[in-house]
Amino acid sequence: MKKILILSIALLLSLMINAQEKIEVGIMTLTQTISSDNEQMNTQLKSMGETNSTSYFKGDKARNETSNPMSGDITMIIDGSTKQMLMLMENPYQGKKYTMQSIEPNKEDLEDVTVKIGDETKTILGYECQQIIVTLKQNGQDMDMQMFVTDKISAISPNTTAMGDKVEGFPLYFTMTTNQMGVTMTVSSEVISIEQVDVPDEKFDMTPPEGYTKMEGM
């Protein structure tokens, strides 16, 4: 019994130490839910359940893959060195489309971003995360965000690119609330697993795959 207890304590300490190492390459699994204050819309959203996505990261590059019945398959590939994002979309209604766009916000966009360090902390997957509260305006819509970030994950998050360098760290938990045409929508996302493994460079290829056509107006 004593040996088992010692081994358990040693394993726990090992996990705590590993959890504090800075990770620069790996794979994450995220879960996302969307809710609304509109009863009819909320019923439809609940029928979708949680949406899981997989995120690959390596240095200044990131790739996120998401699939759900409403939006189809969406893949976002970000190159932090060139500040470009390739988005691939596939669904039965539009077929295979892609867009290439800059992730670097302009000066005017950043003027509408307010960032405040909150009073709360949250431990997620062994990482102590600091609360960050953000308000911004995007495409004419006011957005309120709350996130819990860690400085132990060196990765690009699509959820923070619109804020430039105003937010430091990677959000392991994120919520965004916005009002569209009188309906309040809340998106919540949380990282539920992190695996520190090498990721092939091919995952971050910014060349649109064969069979995809550029979305008009983008």
More confident residue, 139 or 194: 194
pTM recorded for the entire structure: 0.81
What's residue 77's pLDDT? 97
What is 44-75 written as a DSSP string?
Answer: HHHHH--EEEEEEEETTEEEEEEEETTTEEEE
Confidence of residue 9 (pLDDT cuts 50, 70, 90): very low
Give residue-wise pLDDT tens across range 180-193: 778 888 889 999 99
Domains and CATH numbers, the chain: 22-214 (2.50.20.10)
User: Residue 212 pLDDT > 70, yes or no?
Assistant: yes
Residues 173 and 160 sit within 8 Å (Cβ to Cβ): no
Confidence of residue 49 (pLDDT cuts 50, 70, 90): low
